[in-house]
Amino acid sequence: MHEYSIVQALVNQVEEQVQRHRARAVHVVCVQVGELSGVEVSLLKTAYDLFRQDTVCAQAELKVETVGARWECRACAATLAPGGPLRCDRCGGAVRLAQGDEIVLSKLELEVA
């Protein structure tokens, strides 16, 4: 289950921010997870609950926001409708995934001096 390695990286990022801001405590950890990231949100939450013990996140709530996939034409930047063909309706160009595969630490609520 790769969710554990994701949580380890997440906690490491939080620890860096705690040191950087000289925080006393972490209250909330917010993460954005793309629907095409390959991460199962329920497993991520379970891994977080198990892994956070004895870390700076021990008392911190995890909030997860799911980010929907959005495809965009490489040539004309048009946004494609979800579930459609992966060719631009406007110009016929190839498309790229513009969002929906990310795993991002988006916000922290820290207690600082």
Instruction: Determine, yes or no, domain membership for 104.
Output: yes
HEC string of 8-69 equals HHHHHHHHHHHHHHCEEEEEEEEEEEECCCCCCHHHHHHHHHHHCCCCCCCCCEEEEEEECC
Give me the domain span that covers residue 45. 3-68+100-112
Mean pLDDT of all residues in 87-109: 94
pLDDT score for 1: 57
Does residue 91 sit within a domain? no
Per-residue pLDDT reduced to its tens digit, 9-33: 999 999 999 999 999 999 999 999 9
Q: Domain for residue 15, yes or no?
A: yes
Give the pLDDT band of residue 40 (cuts 50, 70, 90): very high
Q: Please tell me the predicted confidence (pLDDT) of residue 84.
A: 81
Domain assignment present for residue 76? The answer is no
User: Does residue 19 belong to any structural domain of this protein?
Assistant: yes
Q: Which pLDDT tens digit goes with each residue over 42-51?
A: 999 999 999 9
State pLDDT tens for residues 56-66: 999 999 999 99
Does 20 map to a domain?
yes
Into how many domains does the chain fold?
1
The predicted model scores a pTM of 0.87
CATH number at residue 15: 3.30.2320.50
Q: From CA 64, how far away is CA 46, in angstroms rounded?
A: 12
Residues 6+ apart with CB under 8 A from 72: 78, 79, 80, 95, 96, 97, 98
In a domain? residue 85: no
